[in-house]
């Protein structure tokens, strides 16, 4: 007799027509097979969860915003957005997170761990998505396309910035003079006009500049470079 977990309709569906068993030849262990893709699971409850990927069923609903989820743990994690709960705390700096995975990623800042390595140039990264983005340098893949001019980008952020050329959007505003910019980096440079900050210093004469480009031009005086 099979034992399964899930909604009553899912249990009935599994028991009546889709509780197909197979046997792992090496271990002799009984497996439960998906009738759509034939993927095998050790437990019928795992098969029930998996089948929602095919059916699109989302039986767990947030009672605040009505967003629905296929897995109960996904709902529990989502509800922390509304409650503000952050149960995972860094033991180094006490920063708190709503997801355990976010804490794990954060802790690599302290440990210096870089577990994701490019198989072309051996450059290492803290997060998998950063590695995937980096690998597009080698592959030339540019999956993000502007729907106005068809220009392509390897990073979604690049496409978002580019679209502001067409839309005229300037979401970054100076809190001193209200001048607006289409990129955060441009705003940061502009703010130095008000603050007087000059973070770029010549290593020959110690003259300081607010913009890196100005430092590069200045250093040509010392190097004799003229282009």
Domain ranges of the chain: 8-55, 58-113
Whether residue 144 contacts residue 152, with contact meaning beta carbons closer than 8 Å, is answered with yes
pLDDT average, residue stretch 35-61:
87
pLDDT average, residue stretch 99-126:
95
Mean pLDDT of the chain: 87
How much is the pLDDT for 223?
Answer: 86
Least confident of 12-16, 45-49, 88-92, 122-126: 12-16
d(CA 182, CA 162): 9
d(CA 118, CA 143): 19
44: which residues sit within 8 A by CB, 6+ positions away? 2, 3, 4, 5, 14, 19, 32
Least confident of 3-7, 64-68, 161-165, 166-170: 3-7
CA dihedral 99, 101, 103, 107 (to 10 degrees): -170
Question: Tell me: the pLDDT tens digits for 198-215?
Answer: 999 999 999 999 989 999
Query: Tell me, which fold does domain 58-113 have in CATH?
Result: Double Stranded RNA Binding Domain (3.30.160)
- Give me the percent of the chain exceeding a pLDDT of 70: 86
């Amino acid at each position: 007799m099979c034992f399964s977990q899930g909604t009553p309709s899912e249990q009935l569906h599994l028991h009546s027509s889709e509780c197909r068993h197979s046997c792992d030849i090496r271990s002799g262990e009984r497996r439960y097979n998906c009738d759509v893709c034939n993927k095998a699971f050790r437990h019928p409850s795992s098969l029930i969860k998996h089948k929602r990927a095919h059916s699109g069923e989302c039986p767990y609903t947030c009672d605040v915003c009505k967003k629905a989820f296929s897995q109960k743990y996904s709902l529990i994690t989502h509800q922390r957005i509304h409650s503000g709960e952050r149960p995972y705390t860094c033991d180094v700096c006490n920063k708190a997170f709503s997801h355990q995975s976010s804490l794990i990623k954060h802790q690599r800042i302290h440990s210096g761990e870089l577990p994701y390595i490019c198989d072309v140039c051996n450059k290492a990264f803290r997060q998998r998505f950063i590695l995937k983005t980096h690998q597009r340098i080698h592959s030339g893949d540019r999956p993000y396309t502007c729907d106005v001019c068809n220009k392509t980008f390897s990073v979604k952020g690049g496409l978002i910035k580019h679209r502001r050329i067409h839309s005229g959007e300037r979401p970054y505003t100076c809190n001193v003079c209200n001048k607006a910019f289409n990129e955060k980096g441009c705003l940061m440079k502009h703010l130095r006009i008000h603050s007087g900050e000059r973070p770029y210093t010549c290593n020959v004469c110690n003259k300081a500049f607010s913009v890196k480009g100005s430092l590069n031009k200045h250093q040509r005086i010392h190097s004799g470079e003229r282009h």
